[in-house]
Amino acid sequence: MSVAVSTNDLRNGMTLDLPEGLFSVVEFQHVKPGKGGAFVRTKLKNVRSKAVIERTYRADEKLEQAIIDKREMQYLYRDGSDLVFMDSSSYEQLQVADDALGSAAPFLKEGDSAVLELYGGEVIDVDLPAAVELTVTDTEPGVQGDRGSGARKPATLETGLVLQVPLFVNTGDRVKVDTRTGEYLTRAQG
């Protein structure tokens, strides 16, 4: 579903349904030259591919604003290559293909909550917390006392995500992982 919106009413974060696909407004600038009509210069990010494009529109040109349905959902379990989520308010279940979640899938464990952004019933994005805590299921034994060298070793987490951790991290430890970069942050307390 979409509604007509004027280029004069653009806001950062607004999603537009353009002929080339769904785009999120990264930034925009209203320009009023001395001669000629005013225009709006925009930087837009493709919601699916994340590619950024620049477009210029006439002032008060009409574009289609995509109405995005943001729903808080709980990840229940994996069903083949799909992940099954439950809407936290309606208890309705939704099966989502692994690849529709993009880079978010390796950070989700059963019982976790995430905000799914849907457009026309299709998941277009997932909002995760900035960091998640996951348990290390496999790594080489830790080395005591070597905290300053910055040396790293691979560790497999409970979701299957493999990342580099400091030498002192052991199997069974809980670690905090940055969901934006996929990097180890710190050992989790408790």
User: How far are the Cα atoms of 58, 84, 94, 100, 158 from residue 97, in angstroms, in the given order?
Assistant: 39, 9, 10, 5, 20
pLDDT of residue 56: 93
Q: What is the pLDDT of residue 16?
A: 92
CATH tag for 2-66 (out of 3.40.30.20, 2.30.30.30, 3.40.50.300, 2.60.40.10): 2.30.30.30
- Intervals of CATH 2.40.50.140 along the chain: 69-127, 131-187
Which pLDDT score, from 0 to 100, does residue 149 have?
64
157-190 pLDDT, tens digit per residue, is: 998 899 999 888 888 999 999 988 889 998 887 6
Which residues does the chain have with pLDDT short of 50? none
pLDDT of residue 141: 82
**CA nearest neighbour of 107 among 33, 184, 11:** 184
- Whole-angstrom Cα Rg for the chain: 22
Q: What pLDDT is recorded for position 190?
A: 60
- Give 69-127's CATH code, choosing from 1.10.10.10, 2.40.50.100, 1.10.8.60, 2.40.50.140: 2.40.50.140
Domain 131-187 has CATH 2.40.50.140: yes
pTM (two decimals) = 0.73
pLDDT of residue 121: 80
